[in-house]
Amino acid sequence: MKTRTILGLIGILSLAAGAADVPKVIRLGWVGNKYDKPFTGGVVGYIQENQLWEKEFAKEGIKIEWNFFKGTGPAINEAVANGKIDFASSGDLPSTAGRAGGLPTRVIVGGGAGGGKRFILVAAGSSIRRPADLRGKRISFQKGTYAHLAWDRYARDVLKADGEKSFKLYSLTSGDAEVALASGSVDAIYGGSLDLVYKGQAKVLDTITADRYPTVGNNAGSTYTTQQFINKYPDIVYRWVKVYLKAADDLYRKENQSLIWQLGTKSGSSLKSVKESDDGGDVRQQNLPIFDDHYKIRVDKAIADEISFRLIRRPFTAESWWDRRFYDRALSELKLDKKWADIYAWRAQEAKKLR
Amino acid sequence: MHPSGSSRKANLVLASILISLPFGAASAQDDSDSGIVIDTAAQAAANAPATVGDVDDARKSTLILDEWINRTLERTIPKTSRPLNLSGNISTRYTYIQGKQATPYYNSFNIPNVSLGFKGILFKDYENSKNLTYSLGFSSANGGAPTVADANIGYSLLSTVDLRNPSLNISIGQQKKPWGQEAQADAEAQPSVSGSTYLSSVGVSDVSARDIGVVIKGDILPTVDYGYNYRAPLLAVSAGFFNGAGANVSADNNRDKEWVVRAVLAPPVGYYNFLRGLTIGASFAKSEKNIIAAGGVLTPAKTIWLYKTNSAGTKTDSGKVTVADAVKAPSDTISGDRTRLGIDISYIRTPVNLTVEGVYATQDSVYWDKVTKSFSPYHRRSWGGSVTLFLNIGEQFLKGYREQARPDDWWPITWQPFFRIDGFDPDDDIRGRWDTTYVSRGAAAAAGAWQLVGTVGGNVFFARTTKLQVNYRWKKTEDFPAKFHETLVQLSYGF
């Protein structure tokens, strides 16, 4: 009896210790939007809409805290550096610049293949007729974000110019940039919203897609956690990734195209804008988050370009940054490795074109 | 009847709002075990094309809103000729001082500070962001009449478009002197209610104050970390040229102008580097001051305390002494040179922060020599310093974190506990004159006794512009056996 009591006490203590081995709250950091709406699109928007992470962690009483940063990638990096965020996602420049600067982030899910459409907008009455006319003009985007790297690439590969020196660059958030364009304070926006075009205040000067401008349109944002969080809560990371992959599999189906667009409007963009910003590719090919050469090449190229543009100083490789354990295990348990085999094969072919 | 210009503008705004409304963004629901969200009937209706009736309704709504906006603009919206950012700050304090008190009773509520500020751009340079700015501010201390605090115009001499470029700005008018670390610090780097003793004491207070003149600020060799949009110049220099007579003085009252220079070095590292937030600064000021030696019957009281010191300056005795003859002193005004030197090190890297500052000041001054029965000049030397250790637990000072899309008036709570020790010796040689000057204990303390102050406390930032501060101060003054204990509770809020 005594032995049983002692074992019981040990059991209770173990449970108590185990219970303490989970965070009280999981803090998420996502890119905000110009409408200040605390929502996002894509698979994370789907998870948010359906409270899938909330449900997954409810039994331990773990809360999910959603943070949408108006300052986008750089603000997310600041929050991660100060220990305020456990999971986050941002564009290729901010996520790699953070890592290059020593931020202990680890990428835990792969990336989709599509970057959608991005637009270079000029004012409706602008005399700028073709991309070459942009030389020497006032260009706006938010520095330190995906658009900064994309612009430098566009200037180098399309305009044959130095993106930093041959233009006057203004770092403005997307909302401020649109106001500046409408008021004539800047001549063009890289990454502008079509909603401005629908209002009659802007026109599209150029459309960036991965097909049209492979070196510009093939961006590679990352979803990551921190090494400290992995060390402390590996099981939480695994379950988080598993929910992510399951949701991606549920969402990214051809029959859900309308739903995917609807999710895109939750951040405030019009449905028309969301639809026209879609590059029209296969939903699964474009969006399923996959760790493979296709993703690796894009991340490594982003790092190399950032070094050459002097946006970061210290090089590193995608593989040294990734921690695939949780992804691989979840993929296997969900049998997605077999279900997504066709996408893996397609991406392997596409990766050859990227080399 | 043609619509007015403002009416057309209002129409455009409304049309933009209507066009940008996400008509298709209504709610959806989970309708299956698989968790897939499907469109509801309401969603389908929302996505249906607009009818002529819908468009007519929208047009009527636009006209009603147009009229309402124009009426509001005309009747209730204040106008300025240039962009204006209006701000204000109020502090409400309760002070409790331990021990026996005579009037005035310090244990009381008061409003130690009220300020109102107007800032804006006089000319906006869209090409290079070399903007022309203005600043006008008023403040009132302890219910006194409001006085002009800031009244200056500023201009960016270099383009501020590219973070990687050096910067250079000039401002002319009444403004704060660019001297010292603590005197320049904002709430992130200065947690206590009261500043260090030397900032408000004889000898140094003038360089932490405002004056009328010109300030040029610039920096070179900035490190830019695009991962955080973080910029840290290797060297930042501020140089000021002032009357030296103080704020709100219509004409200079001394022969020389005051020079103030401050240089700050920061390591060329990115945001995540552990050296980020480390700065080493040096400040120097040189000026002339009119010293007014008040005339009249200076001393003695009939019975006063006297201190006796030996040649080494060590106190050997003190006691009550009766002084026989009163001394009649003529008033006099003497020009004296002043220098102020400050060295500081700061490590502001939330959550752990440390600031250390040392101050050395000299000033030509006078004392009444009872032997020669005249004012005699002397070179007063003052020393001061402070060490502040504090934490920032929360997100108040993480700008990127604060700027979030949230559905309500969300603000993260931040705790800022701190400990500071500071000291000041306004006159390191006063003992040398005690034997030749009639100095009572009170006068000695006022003129040259050193002070050592310990402050412990904390701030809670619980709304965007509101913080509660609790400070406990302990003060020891040279040759005063009684220690000074003070508790301050202050609510600081602004808009």
Is B129 within 8 Å of B159 (Cβ atoms)?
yes
Over residues A252-269, the pLDDT tens digits come to 999 999 999 999 998 888
Tell me if chain B has a CB within 8 Å of the CB of A175. no
Q: What is the pLDDT of residue B433?
A: 59
Contact B229 A198 (CB under 8 A): no
CATH architecture of A2-113+220-354: 3-Layer(aba) Sandwich (3.40)
Weakest-pLDDT range from A231-235, B50-54, B211-215, B304-308: B304-308
Over residues B15-38, the pLDDT tens digits come to 444 444 444 333 444 444 444 444
Is A55 within 8 Å of A27 (Cβ atoms)?
no
CATH architecture of A118-217: 3-Layer(aba) Sandwich (3.40)
Instruction: Answer yes or no: is pLDDT of A75 > 70.
Output: yes
Tell me if chain A has a CB within 8 Å of the CB of B410. no
Q: What pLDDT band is residue B259 in, cutting at 50, 70 and 90?
A: very high
Complex prediction ipTM: 0.86
CA B276 distance to own-chain centroid: 22
Instruction: Answer yes or no: is pLDDT of A351 > 60.
Output: yes
Q: For the purposes of burial, counting CB atoms within 10 Å of the CB of A353, is it exposed (0-12), middle (13-18) or buried (19 or more)?
A: exposed
Residue of B nearest to A144 (CA): B226
As a whole-number percent, the residues of chain B with pLDDT over 70 amount to 74
Instruction: Answer yes or no: is pLDDT of A147 > 70.
Output: yes
- Angle, helix B52-76 to helix B5-20, in steps of 10 degrees: 130
Tell me if chain A has a CB within 8 Å of the CB of B31. no
Weakest-pLDDT range from A35-39, A316-320, B284-288, B439-443: B439-443
Q: What pLDDT band is residue A182 in, cutting at 50, 70 and 90?
A: confident
Q: What is the pLDDT of residue B326?
A: 54
Q: What is the pLDDT of residue A5?
A: 52
Instruction: Answer yes or no: is pLDDT of B64 > 70.
Output: yes
Which sequence spans correspond to the domains of chain A? 2-113+220-354, 118-217
Question: Could you tell me whether strands B167-176 and B29-30 are parallel, antiparallel, or unpaired per DSSP bridges?
Answer: unpaired
Weakest-pLDDT range from A89-98, A204-213, A274-283, B300-309: B300-309
Pick B226's closest partner by Cβ from A33, A76, A97. A97
Report phi then psi at B379, rounded to 5.
-100, 105
Q: What pLDDT band is residue B455 in, cutting at 50, 70 and 90?
A: very high
Task: Report helix, strand or coil for A334.
Answer: coil
Q: What pLDDT band is residue B43 in, cutting at 50, 70 and 90?
A: low
Over residues B123-179, the pLDDT tens digits come to 988 888 899 999 999 999 888 899 999 999 999 999 888 888 999 999 999 999 999
Instruction: Answer yes or no: is pLDDT of B448 > 80.
Output: no
Q: Which of A2-6, B288-292, B402-406, B444-448 has the highest mean pLDDT?
A: B402-406
A2-113+220-354 with A118-217: one CATH topology?
yes
Pick A250's closest partner by Cβ from B20, B28, B34. B34
Kindly list the residues from chain B whose CB atom is less than 8 angstroms away from the CB atom of residue A175: none
Q: What is the pLDDT of residue B3?
A: 40
Tell me if chain A has a CB within 8 Å of the CB of B38. yes
Average pLDDT over residues B410-433: 86
Q: What is the pLDDT of residue B30?
A: 44
Tell me if chain B has a CB within 8 Å of the CB of A242. no
How crowded is residue A126: how many other Cβ atoms within 10 Å of its Cβ? 17
Average pLDDT over residues A172-192: 89
Q: What is the pLDDT of residue A253?
A: 94
pTM: 0.83
Task: Give me B383's structure tokens.
Answer: 């020393």
Best mutation site among B30, B224, B272, B408 for testing chain A: the one with the most A CBs within 10 Å?
A: B272
Beta bridge partners of A204: A121
Q: What pLDDT band is residue B335 in, cutting at 50, 70 and 90?
A: confident
Instruction: Answer yes or no: is pLDDT of A352 > 80.
Output: yes
Q: What is the pLDDT of residue A64?
A: 97
Q: What is B85-494's CATH superfamily?
A: Porin (2.40.160.10)
Q: What is the pLDDT of residue B160?
A: 84
As a whole-number percent, the residues of chain A with pLDDT over 70 amount to 94
Q: What is the pLDDT of residue B297?
A: 55
Is B83 within 8 Å of B122 (Cβ atoms)?
no
Average pLDDT over residues B377-381: 82
Contact B226 A71 (CB under 8 A): no
How crowded is residue A354: how many other Cβ atoms within 10 Å of its Cβ? 19
Handedness of CA A45, A46, A48, A53 (dihedral sign): negative
Residues 6+ apart with CB under 8 A from B131: B121, B123, B124, B125, B155, B156, B160
DSSP E strands in chain A: the ranges are 25-31, 63-69, 87-90, 105-109, 118-123, 138-141, 168-171, 188-190, 202-208, 222-226
The pLDDT mean for chain A works out to: 91
Pick A79's closest partner by Cβ from B15, B351, B401. B401
Q: What is the pLDDT of residue B439?
A: 45
Average pLDDT over residues A144-166: 95
The pLDDT mean for chain B works out to: 81
| A18-77 residues touching B, CB cutoff 8 A | 32-33, 35-38, 46, 49-50, 52, 67-71, 73-77
Instruction: Answer yes or no: is pLDDT of B1 > 50.
Output: no
Q: What pLDDT band is residue B298 in, cutting at 50, 70 and 90?
A: low
Weakest-pLDDT range from B56-65, B221-230, B245-254: B245-254
Instruction: Answer yes or no: is pLDDT of A20 > 70.
Output: no
